[in-house]
């Protein structure tokens, strides 16, 4: 099996367009199709760049297609399709992605918080403990590992998917409320027809030896796992091995999460309160003779287009970050990318900030975003004359919600 090399830095995710381009150049669709299910398979690791707008799906596919034949029937196109499906569903469901779309398969009461043994990677189920450590250490996890963790948390430990989704979202560099929360719901069977469960054989097939789960709670038949998902309370962490064969389970501290940018992530970026921010923008626009202001937000970190506004400013919506805090790694990634576009950033209220610009006779120009708070702010600003650029899509965004990916794909890939 091949594995894409890490390209730079500790985790291989440099927040630059060059790093995104290098990842694109390394994509090997043939190897991807053969190996994508394996933890060391040739997956693209493009997701942090796609989530934060350093790349978009049509641009990524077009770049890959300059070197490879990737028809719509190709596995890689299909997976990009999943991304667009979740965005389609998120647009329709709005904040509905944060609550059960359908009732869960178990009638008991799911816990509302993540147990310490999971957060500290000491459940005794090796695949889960390794995945948690990897997520905390790198900010990224292979799709299969995400599915195993979500399945274990929800179906075996009986934690409500929302608690798990919020935790994972905070640590992922690609954390996206549409893809993440709906994937958790897909695993949980609140956005799919049946619970997703995995067994020790599945782990043995796709993960390295250290992740193997023989002898643990997942070492049983799919029928038995499905019955646990639907009918049993929290199975708890694995019992300690009385003969000590499995060794101690060292706890790891989960990294802190932050509702506002940590100082080291901000380094080199000026912060400004609203009046100072506004005064500076008004002066810059007057100097350039252009009333347009490019708003650079965390989901629009791509290279500026030619002919765009001369004045570019950074804006963070504080209420979103209070609700969905990020790890310092995520902050460093986002602000690192922002720093290549702007010298300063305002952490405030997106709606108030956009209104203030419009009140001053300026024209905000910004990319659409569906995250809570931003979505409402952008819609309101658009009604007042702001220029909103849609997120480019490869496939259509049907007017009516498609309740399943299959339905969506049948419509858009024809």
CA distance 82 to 85: 5
User: Which 8-state DSSP code applies to residue 260?
Assistant: S
Helix (H, G, I), strand (E, B) or coil at 286: helix
Pick 91 or 292: Cβ nearer ligand FAD: 91
- For the chain, what is the largest distance between any 2 Cα atoms, rounded to a whole number of angstroms? 77
Pick 11 or 47: Cβ nearer ligand FAD: 47
- Minimum distance of ligand FAD from residue 353's CB (angstroms): 26
Cβ proximity of 332 and 300 under 8 Å: no
- Minimum distance of ligand FAD from residue 307's CB (angstroms): 28
CA distance 96 to 399: 17
The phi and psi torsions of 345 (rounded to 5 degrees) equal -140, 145
Binds ligand FAD (CB under 6 A): choice among 39, 46, 257, 278 = 46
Pick 82 or 387: Cβ nearer ligand FAD: 82
Query: Which residues are within 8 A (CB) of 40 and not within 5 positions of it... i.e. 6 or more apart?
Result: 1, 3, 208
Binds ligand FAD (CB under 6 A): choice among 130, 146, 162, 346 = 146
Block residue for tokens 């858009």:
412
Going by C-alpha positions, the residue among 414, 411, 410, 409 that lies closest to residue 79 is: 409
Cβ proximity of 121 and 251 under 8 Å: yes
Binds ligand FAD (CB under 6 A): choice among 11, 35, 180, 202 = 180
- Contact call for residue 324 and ligand FAD (CB under 6 A): no
Pick 330 or 346: Cβ nearer ligand FAD: 330
Number of alpha helices (DSSP H) and beta strands (DSSP E) in the chain: 19, 8
- Contact call for residue 143 and ligand FAD (CB under 6 A): yes
- Contact call for residue 78 and ligand FAD (CB under 6 A): no
CA distance 66 to 59: 11
Binds ligand FAD (CB under 6 A): choice among 14, 24, 29, 51 = 51
Query: Which residues are within 8 A (CB) of 379 and not within 5 positions of it... i.e. 6 or more apart?
Result: none
Q: What's the N-to-C CA distance of the chain in angstroms?
A: 32
- Contact call for residue 83 and ligand FAD (CB under 6 A): yes
From 165-173, 265-273, 302-310, 334-342, span contacting ligand FAD (CB under 6 A): 165-173
- Contact call for residue 14 and ligand FAD (CB under 6 A): no
- Contact call for residue 45 and ligand FAD (CB under 6 A): yes
User: Which 8-state DSSP code applies to residue 267?
Assistant: T
Pick 148 or 277: Cβ nearer ligand FAD: 148
- Minimum distance of ligand FAD from residue 212's CB (angstroms): 21
Binds ligand FAD (CB under 6 A): choice among 13, 86, 206, 299 = 86
Pick 19 or 172: Cβ nearer ligand FAD: 172
Q: Which two tokens stand for residue 17?
A: 């367009």
Pick 44 or 327: Cβ nearer ligand FAD: 44
Q: H-helix or E-strand containing 388?
A: strand 387-389
Cβ proximity of 149 and 128 under 8 Å: yes
- Contact call for residue 374 and ligand FAD (CB under 6 A): no
Block residue for tokens 């049509």:
58
Estimate the share of the chain in helix, then strand, then coil, as percent rounded to the nearest 5: 45, 10, 45
- Contact call for residue 189 and ligand FAD (CB under 6 A): no
- Minimum distance of ligand FAD from residue 390's CB (angstroms): 17
Cβ proximity of 321 and 254 under 8 Å: no
Pick 142 or 317: Cβ nearer ligand FAD: 142
Pick 65 or 249: Cβ nearer ligand FAD: 65
Pick 88 or 294: Cβ nearer ligand FAD: 88
Total binding residues for ligand FAD by CB under 6 A?
Answer: 29
- Contact call for residue 179 and ligand FAD (CB under 6 A): yes
From 46-54, 102-110, 205-213, 307-315, span contacting ligand FAD (CB under 6 A): 46-54
Cβ proximity of 70 and 29 under 8 Å: yes
Binding interface with ligand FAD (CB under 6 A): 36, 43-47, 50-51, 79-80, 82-83, 86, 142-143, 146-147, 150, 168-169, 172, 174-176, 179-180, 183-184, 187
């Amino acid at each position: 099996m091949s594995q894409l090399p890490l390209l730079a830095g500790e985790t291989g995710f440099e927040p630059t367009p060059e790093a995104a381009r290098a990842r694109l150049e390394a994509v090997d669709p043939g190897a991807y199709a053969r190996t994508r299910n394996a933890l060391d398979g040739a997956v693209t690791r493009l997701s942090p760049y796609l989530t934060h707008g350093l790349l978009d799906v049509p641009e990524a596919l077009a770049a890959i297609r300059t070197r490879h034949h990737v028809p719509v029937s190709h596995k890689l196109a299909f997976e990009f399709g999943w991304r667009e499906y979740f965005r389609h569903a998120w647009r329709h469901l709005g904040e509905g992605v944060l609550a059960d779309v359908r009732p869960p398969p178990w009638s008991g009461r799911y816990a509302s918080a993540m147990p310490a043994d999971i957060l500290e990677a000491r459940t005794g189920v090796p695949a889960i403990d390794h995945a948690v450590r990897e997520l905390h250490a790198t900010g990224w996890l292979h799709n299969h590992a995400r599915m195993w963790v979500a399945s274990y948390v929800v179906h075996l430990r009986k934690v409500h998917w929302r608690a798990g989704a919020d935790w994972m979202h905070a640590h992922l560099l690609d954390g996206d409320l549409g893809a993440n929360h709906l994937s958790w719901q897909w695993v949980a069977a609140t956005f799919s027809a049946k619970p997703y469960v995995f067994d020790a054989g599945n782990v043995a097939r796709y993960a390295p030896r250290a992740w193997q789960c023989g002898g643990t709670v997942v070492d049983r038949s799919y029928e038995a796992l499905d019955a646990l998902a639907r009918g049993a309370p929290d199975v708890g962490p694995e019992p300690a091995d009385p003969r000590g064969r499995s060794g101690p389970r060292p706890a790891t501290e989960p990294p802190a999460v932050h509702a506002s940018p940590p100082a080291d992530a901000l380094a080199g970026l000026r912060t400004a309160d609203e009046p100072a921010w506004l005064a500076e923008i008004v002066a810059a626009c007057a100097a350039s003779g252009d009333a347009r202001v490019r708003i650079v937000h965390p989901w629009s970190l791509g290279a500026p287009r030619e002919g765009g506004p001369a004045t570019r400013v950074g804006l963070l919506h504080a209420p979103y970050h209070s609700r969905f805090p990020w790890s310092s790694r995520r902050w460093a990634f986002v602000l690192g990318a922002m720093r290549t576009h702007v010298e300063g950033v305002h952490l405030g209220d997106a709606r108030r900030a956009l209104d203030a610009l419009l009140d001053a006779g300026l024209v905000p120009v910004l990319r659409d975003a569906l995250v809570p708070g931003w979505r409402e702010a952008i819609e309101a600003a658009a009604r007042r004359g702001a220029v909103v650029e849609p997120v480019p899509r490869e496939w259509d965004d049907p007017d009516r919600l498609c309740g399943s990916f299959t339905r969506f794909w049948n419509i858009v890939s024809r």
